[in-house]
Amino acid sequence: MRKEIWLGTVLLAASAAAYSTAGFFTRLIHVDAMTMLFWRGIFAGLFLAGMVMWRERGHVAKSVRAIGRDGLLIALCSALATVCFLNAFRLSSVADVMVIDATMPFLTAGIAWLLIGEREDRITLLATLAAVVGVAVMAGPAIASGRLLGNLLALGMALLMSVVLVLIRRNPGVSMLPAVGLSAFLCALIVLPYARPFAVDRVEMLELFLFGTTQFGMGLLLLARGTPLVSATRGALIGTLQTPLATLWVWLAFAETPAVATLAGGAIVLAAVVGDIALPRRKEHVIT
């Protein structure tokens, strides 16, 4: 496996680890959801803006212009995906949303083939199927309790994030950090009418700062850096690590012992991702 593919894999695994701490922070911070999302978006956007200024050093405007229409579409799709994700949890079961989210690699494979001609190999597709099975095992019997509108929103979220991954992959020579930073600010703007930004104390503000920078900001940063280096479908597959890791952090921090099915499903997801990375290929992914 080429060096850049290994680097992309490591960056995306780290991105999944960062994203997976969302459950930990939402348990830790005792403010309403909209206020939490507002400050998370603001702090993540500022963090990413700082990264762009540090990396570009005097060429910030040029880097922003370089993202083009694809970058603006990435920002819009990423922000809308966050809104869909939030409302999906409100209108459907967590289990249904988890399983639908785990199908994102299949959606990404189809979109990647249509937009950039990227054909995925059988190993990654089989690993993706195994990951979906693992998430379904984790969700267990709760899957049947979902509602149609919430499930449609979850599907919309998966489709939007699939588009984000493919568009980043389509522009491997362009840094999309400005685009993902813009998406964070857009998230804050969308929830602002429903938030209470100044109804937080100093301790909560510090917690929100950590949430925005280490979970959302770092997750977006690593996603933007790692996605161009691997196939879009593999990137989405690695992202499924969020589900078992989220359970692990809550278990360690709040002593919430997971069910046997959760542990078994998480092991299947982990094995699927590791298998996809470790198994040899005759050739690497190419964009035709």
Q: Treating both helix axes as pointing N-terminal to C-terminal, what angle do 122-139 and 242-254 enclose, rounded to 10 degrees?
A: 40
Q: How far apart are CA 189 and CA 221, in angstroms?
A: 20
Task: Give the model's pLDDT for residue 283.
Answer: 53
pLDDT band with cut points at 50, 70 and 90 for residue 286: very low
198 burial class (0-12, 13-18, 19+ CB within 10 angstroms)? exposed
Task: Give the model's pLDDT for residue 116.
Answer: 86
Q: Closest by alpha carbon to 21, among 216, 227, 230?
A: 216
pLDDT at 5 over 50: yes
Q: How far apart are CA 213 and CA 209, in angstroms?
A: 6
Chain mean pLDDT for the chain: 86
pLDDT at 287 over 50: no
Q: Give the residue-averaged pLDDT of 231-248.
A: 87
Q: How far apart are CA 211 and CA 281, in angstroms?
A: 38
Q: Which amino acid is at 250?
A: V
Q: Give the residue-averaged pLDDT of 151-176.
A: 90
Do 165 and 227 contact (CB within 8 A), yes or no? yes
pLDDT band with cut points at 50, 70 and 90 for residue 63: very high
- Percent above pLDDT 90 for the chain: 43
pLDDT at 146 over 60: no
Q: Give the residue-averaged pLDDT of 258-278.
A: 84
Tokens of 281: 């290929």
Task: Give the model's pLDDT for residue 140.
Answer: 67
